[in-house]
Chain A
Amino acid sequence: MTSADVWTLATIAGMTLVTVLTRSLFFLSNNSWELPAWVTTGLKYAPIAALAAVVIPEIVITAGHLVSTWKDARLFAALLAVIWYFWRRSLLGTILAGMAVYLPLHLGLGW
């Protein structure tokens, strides 16, 4: 495979346009319209839902299936990270505490 064929670069440029288009879709029109009240109410739940939808499968799914063993480093790391967050309220600490559990279990014990 060549390192920079035109087709690949054009596709990557297209993917950049897709990033801009999806992130700006509702910014494009200048017409003034107001969101219905129920949409505004419902959207309050969108941020936490989007995060949960991304994060929880990454913690409990292995190769397309729900984990079937408790010997999974991610479970312990995520549990400790949540406890750490509510104890210290520090995001950086949460990441470090979780990785401090994850790396030894994952690399040391192979979980």
Chain B
Amino acid sequence: MQEMAAVGPGIAAWGVMTGVAMVKSGIGLVSVLFMSVLVFAGSSQLAALPLFAASAPMWVILATAFCVNLRFIVFSVHLRPYVMHLPLATRLVKAYLFADLNYVLFVKRFPRPADDDRGRAAQDAYWTASGVTGWLIWVVSSIAGVVLAASVPVEWGLGFAGILALLGIMCSLAVSRLRIFSAGIAGAAAVAAYALPLKLNILVAIAAAVAFGLLMESANAKISTSRAAPTTGDAE
């Protein structure tokens, strides 16, 4: 779990800041702890805090959490072939444990699902270790944030370490020109669509980048068949 350990400080800083934000929202210590241990989705927790403070109806809070989490549905499409040999209950637990970074690191390490038992066992073991490590770091650091809330001002911006962790992983995925361009498209789309509610700009950005990647790959394929030259797509 070297990779999760390397980004651990970034996740931890993000967890601490989420813990601090939860305490400052005034939803009460028991609720804060309950949320830290259970929900395990930082962006939906942060999105829900002002709604709790405003005593919004339950369905509004749940709908908000759902929309902020929509990107996970895209990840579940991608991850489905890696888990379908497992029983449903195991799949649910594994899904719960897998946040953004787990997903990104997993598909980087295993670009395609194993087709034999040994490969599947290795992928299952990696998934569990990655998920449990991430969950532990998240829960411990959120609780640390709850404890430290009085002494760590939000203005310090320690949460930026979490962004830097994601930035580092993003660089590690930038292995082809098409991927770098698609990251640029996603970033630009996310900024342009920033005014959308419920973090829907993230979904718009993923859709734009995936569409761009598909268009460029099919254009490349056409050029190379017409020239009978080898393809220069995003070969893995």
Contact = CB atoms under 8 A, between A and B. Distances in A.
Given A9-B34, A50-B202, A27 B84 contact: yes
Contact of B194 (A15, A41, A64, A95): A64
B201 A20 contact: no
Contact of B210 (A21, A45, A73, A78): A45
A54 B164 contact: no
B186 A49 contact: yes
A82 B171 contact: yes
B65 A15 contact: yes
Nearest to B95: A24
Interface in A2-47: 2-4, 7-16, 18-28, 30, 32, 35, 38-39, 41-47
Contacts of B191: 56-57, 60-61, 66
Contacts of B183: 48-49, 51-52
A98 B71 contact: no
A100 B184 CA distance: 26
Contact of A77 (B73, B164, B186, B187): B164
A15 B164 contact: no
Contacts, number: 286
B170 interface: yes
B126 interface: no
A4 to B, nearest CB: 4
A14 B77 contact: no
B172 interface: yes
Contacts of A102: 157, 160, 164
B95 A20 contact: yes
A4 B185 CA distance: 44
B189 A15 contact: no
B88 A30 contact: yes
Interface string A81-96: 1100110011110111
A3 B174 CA distance: 46
Contacts of B80: 26-27, 35
A16 B98 CA distance: 13
B29 interface: yes
A11 B83 CA distance: 29
Given A46-B206, A55-B170, A95-B161, 6 more contacts: A9-B34, A20-B95, A42-B210, A44-B179, A94-B164, A103-B157
Interface of B: 3, 6-7, 9-10, 26-31, 34-35, 38-41, 44-45, 48, 52, 58, 61-62, 65-66, 69-81, 83-84, 88, 91-92, 95-96, 98-100, 103-104, 107-108, 156-157, 160-161, 163-174, 178-179, 182-191, 194-195, 201-202, 205-206, 208-214, 217, 234, 236
16 contacts: A12-B31, A19-B69, A21-B66, A26-B80, A27-B88, A42-B210, A46-B206, A50-B104, A50-B202, A51-B173, A53-B189, A54-B202, A55-B163, A60-B191, A78-B163, A95-B164
